Structure 1
Amino acid sequence: MIIRQARIVDPEQNTAFAVPAIVLSVIVFAYSVNFGPLSVLAFYACWLAPFVMAPRILLGRPGSALLLLTVPFFFALSVLWSDAPGTTLRGAIQYGITFFAGLVAARIISAGNLALGGTIGGLLVLAYSAASGGYSYDYIDGDFAFNGAFSSKNQLGYFATLAILFSAALVWMFRSRRAVQALAVLTAGVGIVMLWMSDSATSLLSAFAAFAAIAFMGVVLTLAPWLRRAVVFLVLTGSVAIAFVSLRLGAFDALLAAFGRDSSLTGRTYLWSQAIEFGAEKPVLGIGYNAFWTHGRPAAEMLWEEFYITARTGFHFHNLLIETYVGTGLVGLALVATLCLLLFVLPLGAALGQGGVGSLMLMSGLSVLFLVRSVAEVDFITPHTVGTFLVAFVLLRLFDHNRQVRHAAHQARPMRQPRHPSLGRWSGITT
C-alpha cells in the first residue's frame, strides 16, 4: 500500500497520523521506564520518519530550527570536557533526538491535533496510573500522596495538568465536535481528580498560571491591534508591581503555608545551595551534561542518601537553571535561560500580531506552564520527556507564526512611487 506523503507531513491532511503519533509520544514520555527501550525506539521512528520522507520540513526554513538546536548541540559538545563522557554522550544524543522530534512535530502537527492527541494520551496515562498506582512517601515534600504509576507525585500532577490543558483546548479554543468534547470533559475530570490526589503544589500553581495566560491571550486577541500594546504593557507592569508588593507583605510565605510548605520549600533551598557550591568548582563549562548524577560521585551519593533515594536514580536539583549550571556551567546556563526568555517573549510578540487565536492561546498556556515549573523542576533539559518535546514544539511554532505575521504585514504595505520617477524603480515602502 502506497501512502501519500501529504498524509504524513501536511498538517491539513495528516490527522490519521498526527493524533496516534502524539498519543504514542505522551505514553512513552510517561512510562518509557515501565515499557522498555522498544517504546523509545517506536517514538524515534515516529518522528524521524517524516523528516527522512520530507527533509524540507525543517530544511525549507532552517533558521529558527538551527537557532533552537544550539542547546542540544552544546549539551553534546560538553562530552569533550565531561568527567563522565559516556553518560554525557548517551544523554545528549537522547536529548537531541527528543528535542529534534519536537521541532519536526511543530512543522507537521496542527495545534488542534496536538490537543486531541494530548487529550487521548493524557487519559490513557492517567487511567494506567489509577489502575496500577498507589501512595508513597515523598521525602522532598515530606508527606504521603498518590503518585500513580510514577516514581513521584509531581510527575502525576504534571501529566494531569497537561491532560486538563489539552482537554480545555479542545472545548474552549478549537470548538471540537460533540463526541470529542465529551472525551475532553471526561479527560479533564479525571485530570482534576488526579491533580488533587497528587497534592503537587508545583502542578497546581503552574496549572493556575497556564490558564491565566490562556485567558489573557484570549482577551488580548479580541482587541484592536492599536490597543493590544497598551494592554500588554499595563498588565505586565501591574503584575510586576503586585508581585513586588505581595512579597514585601509576606504573601509568598502565606502561599506556601496554604500548600503545607515552609520557607525552605521542603528541602529544595538546601538542594539549590549544594548545587551552587558544586557548580562553582567548574563554573564556566560545568562538569558535562547529565554527568552529576552518576554512581560513585561522592556529592551525588551524599544527596541520594540524605533524601532517601535508594534507587540512586531519577533525582535532580529541582530547578531548571541550577541543574543546567552544574552540568554545563555559565555557558549552558545562558543558552537555557535564553529558551526561558523566548518562552516569555514569543507569546507576547504573537499577542500583538494577527490570526491563529486558538493555537496562540494553547501555545501561551504551555509556555507559562513550563516557565512556572522551571522554578522547581527540570522539565525541558532531560531526554525522553514531554517537556523537552513540547518546548521545542512551542518555540518553533511561535517563531514560525511571528515570521508569517511579519511577512504578511510586509506584503500588505502599499508601494509608493519615488520622488524621481526617472530612476525607473521603486524607492521604498511606506510605513
Structure 2
Amino acid sequence: MMISQARLVNPAENTLFAVPAVVLSMLVFAYSVNFGAISILAFYGCWALPFVIAPRILLAQPRPVMLLIIMPFFFGLSTLWSDAAGATLRAAIQYTITFGAGLIAARIVSLGNLALGSMIGCMLVLIYSIMQGGYSYDYIDGDFAFRGAFSSKNQLGYFATLTILFSLSLIWIFQSIRIVQLVALLSAGLGFAMLWMSDSATSLLSAMAAFGAIALIGGVVLLPPRLRRAAVFIIVIGGLGTGLAGLLLGGFDAVLSAFGRDTSLTGRTYLWNQALEIGGQQPLFGLGYNAFWTHGRPEAEMLWQEFYITARTGFHFHNALIETYVGVGLVGLTLVVGMCILLFVLPLRAALRPENTASLLLIFGLSVLFLVRSVAEVDFVTPHTVGTFLVSFILMRLLDRPQPVHRRAFPSVTEVRFVSQRSVVL
C-alpha cells in the first residue's frame, strides 16, 4: 500500500497515524508490565518509523534536540561509574528512546491530535482498570483504595487526572467536532469517578494546580500584549508569597490534614531521609542511573522490606529530584532542575508573545501538573512513562518556533487521502 509521507510526518495531515500512535503509547505507558515486551517493541517501532522515513524531523532544526538530549545522554554516561552497569545501561537506553519518542512526536503531532489520542488512550486505560482491577492496601498512605489494574492507587489517579485534562481540552480549547466533544464529556466523567475512587491526594492536588494554572494563564492571554508581562510578574510573585506564607503559618499542615495525611507524608519523609544519606555516599555523580533499586543491594532490600514491596520492583523514592540525586548525583540533579525551570519558564515566556495560541493553555496545565507531581513522584525521570514522553514533547514544542493550533482534532472524510506524489511503501 502506498501512503503519502505527509500522512506520517505532517501535523496537518497525519491524524490517521498520529492519533492511534498516541493511543498505543498511553496503553504501553500504563500496562507494559501486563502486556509484555511486545507492547514496548510496538511503541518503539511506532515512533521510529516516521524518523526512519524522514530524519529531517529532528535533524532539520537540531539545536532544541541537542539541548534536550543532554540529560538522557548523561544518564547513559553514568554507566561508566555505575556499580550496576547492566541495569544502568538498559534503563538509560529505554529512557533515551522514550524521551526521543516525545521529541519526534512534538515535531509531527499537533496539540489537538495529542489531546485526542491521549484522551482515547487514557479512557481505555481506565476502562481496563475497571474490568481487571480491584482494591488494595497502600502501605505508603495507610488505607484501602481502588487501584484498578495498577500496583498503586496513585497511578490510577494519575491517569484519571490526564483523562480529565485531555478530555476537557478537546471541549473548551480545541473546539472539536460534536461527536468528539460528546465522547470527551463521557471520558471526563469517567476520569472524575476514578480520581475520586483512587483517593490519591497527590493526583487530586496536582489536578487542582493544573486547572488553576490553566485559569490563570487563560486570563493572561486575554490581556493586551503590553499588560501581560506585569500580569505574569504579579502571578509569580503572588504565588511565591502565598506559598511561603502558607509554610510559615501552617498552611501546609492544614492541607495535609484536609486530605487525611500527616506531616510525615505517610512515610515519605523517612524515605527521603534514607535517600539523602545514601546519595551522600557518592554526591557528585551518584551510584549510576537506576542502579540503586537492584536485587542484592542491602539498602534497597531493607527499604523493600520496610515498605512491604514483596515483588522487589517498581518502587522509588517518591520524589523526582531525590531519585535523581541518588542515581546521578549533583551533576544529574542540576540537569533535572534545569529541565524543571524550563518547564515553568518557557510556558510563561510563550504567554507574553502576541502570537500565542489556545494550545498554550493545555501545555501550561501539563507543565504545572508534572512540576507539582515531582514532589511525590518520579514521572519524568524514568523510562516507559507518560511523564517522560509528555515532558519531552512539551519542551520541544516550546523551544521550537510557535505553531498555530489546529482547531479540529479529527479530519473530515475529504481530508483522508492515501496516495500522493511523495509516497512510501508500507
* Alignment TM-score > 0.5, same fold: yes
CA RMSD, 1 decimal = 1.0
- Look up the SS of the partner of 1:357 in the other structure: coil
Deviation at 1:214, TM superposition (A): 1.1
| Paired position in structure 2 for 1:348 | 348
| Paired position in structure 2 for 1:10 | 10
| Paired position in structure 2 for 1:168 | 168
Which structure has the larger Rg over C-alpha atoms? Answer: 1
- Look up the SS of the partner of 1:283 in the other structure: coil
CA distance in 1, matches of 2:253, 2:106: 39
Deviation at 1:5, TM superposition (A): 0.3
Deviation at 1:356, TM superposition (A): 4.4
Deviation at 1:150, TM superposition (A): 0.2
| Paired position in structure 2 for 1:268 | 268
Question: Is 1:94 matched up with 2:86?
Answer: no
CA distance in 1, matches of 2:366, 2:243: 21
Cα-to-partner distance string for 1:27-58 (whole Å, 9 max, x where unaligned): 00000000000000000000011001101111
| Paired position in structure 2 for 1:147 | 147
CA distance in 1, matches of 2:355, 2:171: 19
CA distance in 2, matches of 1:18, 1:143: 40
| Paired position in structure 2 for 1:415 | none
Aligned AA (1:361) = L
- For structure 1, the 5+ residue unaligned runs are 406-431
CA distance in 1, matches of 2:241, 2:63: 37
- Look up the SS of the partner of 1:130 in the other structure: helix
- Look up the SS of the partner of 2:145 in the other structure: strand
CA distance in 2, matches of 1:272, 1:345: 27
Does the CA contact (< 8 Å) of 1:29 and 1:385 recur in 2?
yes
| Paired position in structure 2 for 1:312 | 312
Aligned AA (1:11) = P
Counterparts in 2 of 1:411-426, with a 5 A limit? none
Does the CA contact (< 8 Å) of 1:75 and 1:289 recur in 2?
yes
Aligned AA (1:202) = T
Counterparts in 2 of 1:365-404, with a 5 A limit? 365-401=365-401
Deviation at 1:235, TM superposition (A): 1.3
Aligned AA (2:236) = L
- Look up the SS of the partner of 1:3 in the other structure: strand
| Paired position in structure 2 for 1:131 | 131
Counterparts in 2 of 1:129-278, with a 5 A limit? 129-278=129-278
Does the CA contact (< 8 Å) of 1:218 and 1:357 recur in 2?
no
Aligned AA (2:73) = F
CA distance in 1, matches of 2:266, 2:354: 44
- For structure 2, the 5+ residue unaligned runs are 405-426
| Paired position in structure 2 for 1:295 | 295
Does the CA contact (< 8 Å) of 2:350 and 2:356 recur in 1?
no
| Paired position in structure 2 for 1:63 | 63
CA distance in 1, matches of 2:232, 2:267: 36
Question: Is 1:51 matched up with 2:51?
Answer: yes
- Look up the SS of the partner of 2:290 in the other structure: coil
Deviation at 1:13, TM superposition (A): 0.2
Does the CA contact (< 8 Å) of 1:169 and 1:358 recur in 2?
no
Deviation at 1:143, TM superposition (A): 0.6
CA distance in 1, matches of 2:270, 2:8: 48
Runs of 4 or more above 6 Å deviation: none
Give TM-score, length-normalised by structure 2: 0.94
- Look up the SS of the partner of 2:296 in the other structure: coil
Does the CA contact (< 8 Å) of 1:350 and 1:401 recur in 2?
no
- Look up the SS of the partner of 1:7 in the other structure: helix
Cα-to-partner distance string for 1:239-285 (whole Å, 9 max, x where unaligned): 11122222222111110001110000000000000000000000000
- Look up the SS of the partner of 1:315 in the other structure: coil
